[in-house]
Amino acid sequence: MSSGLLISVLVGGLGVGGAVGYVAGTGTAGRSGSSSASSGSDTAWFTYEGKTYNTSSLPAQVQANLYQAESETYNQKIAVIREFAVRLALAQEQKKFTSLDKLPPVEELLPASAVTDDQAKAFFEANKDKIPPGTTFEQLTGRIKEMLGNEGRAKTFEETWQKLTTGNKLTLLVKEPQAPIVSIPVAGFPARGANDDKNVVVEISDYLCPHCQEVQPDMKKLMDSHKNIKFVQINFALRPDKLSGAMIEGAFCAGKQGNESFWKFHDAAFSKPWGSFADAYDVEKVKPIAEAAGVKIPDWEACMKTDEPKQFVNKTKDIVNGLGVTGTPTFYLNNKRLNIRNPQELATAVEKDLVK
């Protein structure tokens, strides 16, 4: 978990996009003529007036919603199985196994990491700018220790799972749902990396989404290690009439000064939490990000006063809703949606389906 997301949890201000994992509501979704889809599993769902409606005959948005529902169910089941499998493995390794129905709880087999006062204090000092003024270390010490300890346990759990699966001790037999193939009009959005379209990763995110911020270090590692991939950024405002929308408009106006200016703004916007979903639309709150990106402020301010950035935000919303996307971050590889349960799975999910 990133420090930004940890702070959000500590002060109780997660907001949409963080409090419910990677899913955030966007209201009634609209259709977009720019997307089409075909599912990997062409299930027959119903008949109406003698006509059978299969997955492939449904609109892209409906196919995406079906995939989302199937993925959520799959992820819930796998979470249960993963915990049981790790408990089984650790119980045997620690010689605590008696029978399958009497496995020790995961908390006993995998205790939370011990966190010292110095470690908690270091975290507090490193994140002072993200903590509400007036909040003291003493007020948060217990919660910081608990959360850092649980974060350590989660890390050890994932390491144990990776060890079991890569060492061929454990193999999952349940197949993931097949994502529908969509057509994303990437030409109108900022990109970096490879110039060709052989492998294209699309990230749909909102600058105020804590999980979007959490995944950025993994995204940067992926970009740095895969120069053969084109990375496309689609900024999707979950709250277009509030600060969320203002920040994405700011990114658009930065991009009017060139692709490099967009990406500098993009990186600055994700460098730290600049606000929350509840914050009102305020260009002055976005201006420091533009300044940090080094854009020409007079030109940027002039752009922000036009209707063009708002038109871009609304057009993007139609495109994203037409894909059936209702939360951030959402990732696609070569027009196929990736099922990612945590940021650490991003690289593996991409590498698995790269076109060689």
For residue 61, name the pLDDT band (cuts at 50, 70, 90). Answer: confident
d(CA 181, CA 39): 6
Q: What is the mean pLDDT of the chain?
A: 86
Instruction: Please check the confidence at residue 203 and state whether its pLDDT lies above 60.
Output: yes
The whole-model pTM stands at 0.73
d(CA 347, CA 162): 14
13-34: pLDDT as tens digits:
333 333 223 332 233 333 333 3
37-38 sheet: strands from edge to edge: 37-38, 181-182, 336-337, 330-333, 200-205, 230-235, 191-193
Strands 44-48 and 330-333: unpaired
235-272: pLDDT as tens digits:
999 999 999 999 999 999 999 999 999 999 999 999 98
37-60: pLDDT as tens digits:
444 578 999 999 999 999 989 988
Residue 39 three-state SS:
coil
Task: Please list, in sequence order, all residues whose beta carbon lies within 8 angstroms of the beta carbon of residue 299, skipping any fewer than 6 positions away.
Answer: 256, 257
- Asked if residue 207 lies in contact with residue 162, where contact means CB atoms within 8 angstroms, the answer is no
What pLDDT is recorded for position 10?
A: 53
Strands 200-205 and 230-235: parallel
d(CA 206, CA 326): 12
CATH 3.40.30.10 fits 183-352, yes or no: yes
